[in-house]
Amino acid sequence: MNQQNPAESQRPRPVADDQALVERFRNGDPLAWRTLYERYSQPVFRFVSALGVPPEEREDAAQDVFVAVFRGLRQFRGEAQLSTWIYRIAARHASHLGRRRRMRSFLSILPWHEAEPEPQPDPAEKASELRLLDRLLAKLSPKKRMVLVLFEIEGLGVNEIANVMGCPPNTVWSRLRHARAELVKAARRITT
């Protein structure tokens, strides 16, 4: 049984408009790229943030995603929605950054490698609600976190999330249910 988020039905997905922008981009229209970037820059930034990219790396991570989108847009076949394709690129990039951070952390404990100084916190991260949300999301497994962010924050449908994640829709529903339950449980522990 497919359930639908009320916010999801209120947010129309600009699929046809995206396809037209991709065609205009392929035909050399620079305004098409600017429009696509403006449409997806904030959602991508929020997405990489929610996937655990540290504050000091988020802006660069989002820009790297758009460099990859720009380079690959001419080969985009349209088998998935453009938003799905962009989220897949962002998910792969965030995962790559996580592996790189873990490797740096591992290398920092080796005797021949000096530890790097702690980065200064981003002033925008000082808002207590954002810190709390980041802490709560960090407690979820990456797959559950990704499903929750795509569904609840980005407003994607279950089938689109299944395409992004490369799993069946029922798996998305299961991960979403578990992520919500774990998030509520973690919030109760932190706030009490």
The gap from C-alpha 4 to its chain's centroid, in whole angstroms, comes to 20
Task: Tell me what pLDDT residue 121 has.
Answer: 54
Which has the closest alpha carbon to 72: 57, 49, 88, 91?
A: 88
Task: Tell me what pLDDT residue 113 has.
Answer: 41
Task: Tell me what pLDDT residue 12 has.
Answer: 44
Q: CB–CB of 83/18 below 8 Å? A: yes
Encode the chain (192 residues) as per-residue pLDDT tens digits: 444 444 444 444 456 688 888 999 999 998 999 999 999 999 999 998 888 888 888 898 899 999 999 999 988 888 888 999 999 999 888 887 776 666 666 545 544 444 455 555 555 444 566 666 777 778 888 889 888 888 877 778 888 899 888 899 999 999 988 988 887 787 777 766
Specify the residue for token string 């339950």: 181
Task: Tell me what pLDDT residue 168 has.
Answer: 92
What gap in Å lies between CA 126 and CA 144, rounded to an integer?
25
Task: Tell me what pLDDT residue 34 has.
Answer: 92
How many other C-beta atoms can be found within 10 angstroms of the C-beta atom of residue 186? 16
Q: CB–CB of 53/97 below 8 Å? A: yes
Question: In the predicted model, what is the mean pLDDT of the chain?
Answer: 78
What gap in Å lies between CA 159 and CA 185, rounded to an integer?
27
Task: Tell me what pLDDT residue 10 has.
Answer: 43
Q: For the segment 95-120, what is each residue's pLDDT rounded down to a tens digit?
A: 877 766 666 665 455 444 444 555 55
Q: CB–CB of 192/177 below 8 Å? A: no
* Furthest C-alpha separation in the chain: 57
What gap in Å lies between CA 108 and CA 148, rounded to an integer?
32
Give the domains, in start order, of the chain with CATH numbers: 10-123 (1.10.1740.10), 127-192 (1.10.10.10)
pTM above 0.75, yes or no: no
What gap in Å lies between CA 177 and CA 165, rounded to an integer?
16
What gap in Å lies between CA 155 and CA 183, rounded to an integer?
18
